[in-house]
Structure 1
């Protein structure tokens, strides 16, 4: 019997399980949400931007709120990967904190994240669970990663803080001082340049270590 050399048939995804189609919808939704906000974005326009039918969209997402939450969740994952990676290197403590701070401020002050934060803030009164999940998956997750590092450093005798959880929150505030809130409230229309971020982060880390660092290598 001759060998069958015809190409293998392309694998068919079950309804709602094609990752490429899901990403296509999310990209269209992102465009509409960022341009118009949650309330003004319509499912018709999202379908048009994504190049899919309404029937296809509803196979993947139950409604606009479900779509928005999925989009925010995906964005959080992308944000967190780079931020957490800075804390896992073998660099000295000061350099690790500087790298973490730089990445955190770059992400928080980016156009996409600033717009997402504004959209979430505008919807939180009606959908508080969205705000809660956004905070838990973003700020609290970054805080947890930083806190784990500080606990290791405290055990090694390089950090001495009475409340490590509070210290982690303080560092996250220090590195973005003068930058993030100005972006969030529209005082600054563009993200800070690398030199501005560097000055804020270096200063914030120096203040943090002057208070909680022990000076040990």
Structure 2
């Protein structure tokens, strides 16, 4: 028996990050994973399938990703980054809170109700109990990041006298939840199997803006 102690999980993860440092190879793997997950779903997909679709060996696949769950989350992050830029730019460039928050809300609801995003949320919630770090990372890089961005925008609008908000962190989360009302939860539970229509999204986001501004908008002086 070897006297060399078994590597800890943190050591293995660190070694994996160092070894799996080729961005082109990582992109190649994620492209193959996207193809497999889209065609077969998360449960039916295997690391063998993904390696074949990506054109890499299974050993190479495990250098970059320790398991299917972490690979799936990495793919989620890539897809989310590609989709959220427009929503974030709306907040950065527009000083009209009704228009800016409305554009952000539309982008957000379209994104999180898409087929891949809904599937991603289900998978992460399903593994979060046994893989809490994975669940926490998904939350911090998604919902928490978005709420922080809105909160900073609200801080700016308060400073400019366009909104009156005591707790912008709470208001940011309230806005996100309002935009998802009646749309996202039914999708997550598969009670509704198709994404909402553009008309449905615009109606819900419009009502969210109306409610938000009724609470936090600056009231005209008598």
Does the Cα contact within 8 Å between 1:182 and 1:188 map onto a contact in 2?
A: yes
CA distance in 2, matches of 1:131, 1:140: 12
Alignment pair present for 1:137 and 2:141: yes
Q: How does 1:4-153 map to 2 (within 5 A)?
A: 16-34=20-38, 35-37=40-42, 40-153=44-157
CA distance in 1, matches of 2:21, 2:167: 45
**Which piece of structure 1 moves more, 55-64 or 202-211?**
55-64
Mark the CA change 1:136 to 1:16 in structure 2 (over 3 Å): closer, same or farther. closer
Cα displacement (A) at 1:25:
0.8
CA distance in 2, matches of 1:98, 1:210: 14
Cα displacement (A) at 1:60:
2.8
Q: TM-score, normalised by structure 2?
A: 0.82
CA distance in 2, matches of 1:77, 1:102: 16
Of 154, 162, 181, which aligns to 2:185? 181
Of Structure 1 and Structure 2, the greater helix share is in: 2
| Aligned-CA RMSD value | 2.1
Structure 2: gaps (5+ residues): 1-17
Alignment pair present for 1:191 and 2:195: yes
Mark the CA change 1:43 to 1:59 in structure 2 (over 3 Å): closer, same or farther. same
CA distance in 2, matches of 1:36, 1:92: 41
Query: Which gives a bigger RCO, structure 1 or 2 (Cα 8 Å, sep 6+)?
Result: 1
Structure 1: gaps (5+ residues): 1-13
CA distance in 2, matches of 1:192, 1:73: 23
CA distance in 1, matches of 2:100, 2:219: 15
CA distance in 2, matches of 1:77, 1:154: 28
Cα displacement (A) at 1:160:
1.0
Q: Please give the secondary structure, in 2, of the residue aligned with 1:105.
A: helix
CA distance in 2, matches of 1:44, 1:186: 28
Q: TM-score, normalised by structure 1?
A: 0.84
* Alignment size in residue pairs: 202
Does the Cα contact within 8 Å between 1:109 and 1:192 map onto a contact in 2?
A: yes
